[in-house]
Amino acid sequence: MKYRNLGRTGLKVSEIGLGSWLTYGTAAEQKAADACVEAAFEQGINFFDTANAYNRGEGEKAIGAALGKYERSRYVLSTKVFFPMGDGPNDRGLSRKHIMEQCEASLKRLGTDYIDVYFCHRYDSETPVDETLRALDDLTAQGKILYAGVSEWTAAQITDAAGIAERRNLRPLASNQPIYNLFERYIEDEVLPVSAAAGLGQVVFSPLAQGILTGKYKPGQQPAAGTRGADDTVNQVIGSYLRDDVLNVTQELNLLAEQQGIKLSQLALAWVLRQPGVSSAIIGASRPEQVRENAEASGIVLSEETLTRIEQIMEPVKDFAPAR
């Protein structure tokens, strides 16, 4: 496993990180989380990501329990705040009240004294940015978080926040967490250059496009039982990928990966990591073997010839935008 600095900070995170957006709550699911975290440590993964909104805190509890047996200094833990955690008018957003209360709640659910990276899960148009940044700065001063970040903020919003932090002499943001994969590349135009200028490193989610870039979905075939594509409770996003033109492209990419002697998932992750502004790619896994396969993408360098061929393969779906 190779490691990269998180933006302009001295914090080093593994090129592959393990996320926990899957629904947890049962003993069987906790056993799976424990096994995946153990496999992650075996592969050298040190970055683990969750959010308070993942199943209303159950995701945090599961990852916290799985990490409980490991020395705290061995891993980098991130979580998030923004989405509703109750029915009250102040149980959501990025107000000082909600941030302070949810940070305390996340620390308890995670079973830790501090959060390495605390992300604003989305932009809050109803709260002044300086209020949000001041709350994050105060949490850092208290030692409850070490670094602050944002998720899915636009280039203009990142630029505005960076300017406010500088003018108010507040600690700068360290990271942005956007979606980024072969099909969804919006960050390349503005977010990446703006983030580089402001010192934010990207920790990207859905680098395998909800599992599409594993090659397990075939054109003209129904998703196999047990896959996300066949599960009506979680396939709202992946469903927009399940089109023959998209799946035909994945089959061509799969053939290219085979010619390189690697898996399609590894090709897709290596493509994401080709970007110097990307600090880590966050994977999801329900089985240890998935963690091991994806971790092997770290350090793979795709040749210019391969990158050119990827662009040629992607040409038929270059304007594809999954429903959100």
Cα first-last separation, the chain = 33
- Residue among 28, 35, 1 at smallest CA distance from 15: 1
Please report, as a single letter, which amino acid is at residue 260: Q
Cα–Cα dist 157/123, whole Å: 8
CA dihedral 65, 108, 141, 47 (to 10 degrees): 20
Number of Cβ within 10 Å of residue 35's Cβ equals: 17
Query: Known catalytic residue: 70?
Result: no
Distance CA 21, CA 55 (A): 8
The single-letter code of the amino acid at 197 is: A
DSSP code of residue 179: B
Q: Which residue among 3, 24, 54, 123 is the active-site one? A: 54
The residue written with tokens 């900070």 in the block is 9
What's the token pair of residue 174? 């360290």
User: What pairs with residue 16 in β-bridges?
Assistant: 281
DSSP class of 276: T
What is the set of active-site residues?
A: 54
